[in-house]
């Protein structure tokens, strides 16, 4: 079962959009009304942040605003909302998720004071800078060959590396800030693999599309050797994450 507790401003929260159906409500707005009708009580437990949820599915629709609740907000919501078997089961489940996420954040904070981690992060930044310089040259190379979206290679290559090497369940501002020393070394190696692949394609004068293809082939081969790892074990048991496919024009 996929976790629904996520990180917002370095704090674990859960969205009412992810809660309403699991608490036995047919409409999101009905659950939100429980909060808006008791807003003063909720704000005693911290500021209520909002996020915009874009509609999913073929039919689309208007974006909707959802409340982001911390653990105390959620407990109060369960007390005020209608009683149901779903709500009780959800409370037990999210209590475990909030506990795990607090432990994850504490581990990240402790790790970042480790001198060995600091050095690994510093070395990784230097390697990443070298790769970014090569990507800049590659963007110009691809654009000269007719690519209309070459600037997307910065993000797409990064996503490719992360998807190949790691199981990523939660969203963080910067994935490399939460990686272990071993993972920082792995992603730095992947950066060097990408850098070398792009240089080879440019030096050989090959079609720009082969740059991403060759980079992905080599990073994937590297990942198959070392194995894919979880980022701070933020996934719940039994979960899997499949890499997304990238497309270029």
Provide the pLDDT for residue 227.
94
Provide the pLDDT for residue 59.
57
% residues pLDDT > 90 (the chain): 61
Greater confidence (181 vs 91) lies with 181
User: Stretch 56-74: mean pLDDT, rounded?
Assistant: 81
Pairing between β-strand 11-15 and β-strand 64-69 as defined by DSSP bridges: antiparallel
Greater confidence (89 vs 177) lies with 177
Place of tokens 């090959």: 206
The structure's pTM equals 0.66
Provide the pLDDT for residue 92.
82
The CA angle 205-207-212, to the nearest 5 degrees, is: 110
Q: Pick from 236, 246, 238: which is nearest to 170 by CA? A: 236
Pairing between β-strand 229-230 and β-strand 166-167 as defined by DSSP bridges: parallel
- Confidence band of 101 (pLDDT split at 50, 70, 90): confident
pLDDT exceeds cutoff 60 at 114: yes
Greater confidence (24 vs 136) lies with 136
Average pLDDT, rounded, for the chain: 86
Residue 48's φ and ψ, nearest 5 degrees, are -90, 105
């Amino acid at each position: 079962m996929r976790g629904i507790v996520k990180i917002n401003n370095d704090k674990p929260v859960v969205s009412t959009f992810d809660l309403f159906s699991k608490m036995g409500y047919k409409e999101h707005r009905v659950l939100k009304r429980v909060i808006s009708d008791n807003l003063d009580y909720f704000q005693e437990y911290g500021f209520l942040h909002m996020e915009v949820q874009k509609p999913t599915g073929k039919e689309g629709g208007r974006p909707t605003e959802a409340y982001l609740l911390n653990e105390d907000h959620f407990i109060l919501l369960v007390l005020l909302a209608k009683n149901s078997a779903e709500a009780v089961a959800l409370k037990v489940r999210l209590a475990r998720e909030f506990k795990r996420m607090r432990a994850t954040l504490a581990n990240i904070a402790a790790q970042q004071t480790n001198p060995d981690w600091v050095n690994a992060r510093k070395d990784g930044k230097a390697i990443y800078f070298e790769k970014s310089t090569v990507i800049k040259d590659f963007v110009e190379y691809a654009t000269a060959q007719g690519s209309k979206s070459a600037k997307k290679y910065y993000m797409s290559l990064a996503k490719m590396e992360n998807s190949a090497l790691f199981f990523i369940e939660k969203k963080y501002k910067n994935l490399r800030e939460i990686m272990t020393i071993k993972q920082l070394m792995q992603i730095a190696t992947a950066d060097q693999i990408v850098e070398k692949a792009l240089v080879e394609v440019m030096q050989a004068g090959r079609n720009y599309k082969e740059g991403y293809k060759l980079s992905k082939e080599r990073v994937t081969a590297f990942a198959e050797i070392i194995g894919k790892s979880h980022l701070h074990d933020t996934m719940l048991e039994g979960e899997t994450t499949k890499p997304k496919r990238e497309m270029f024009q």
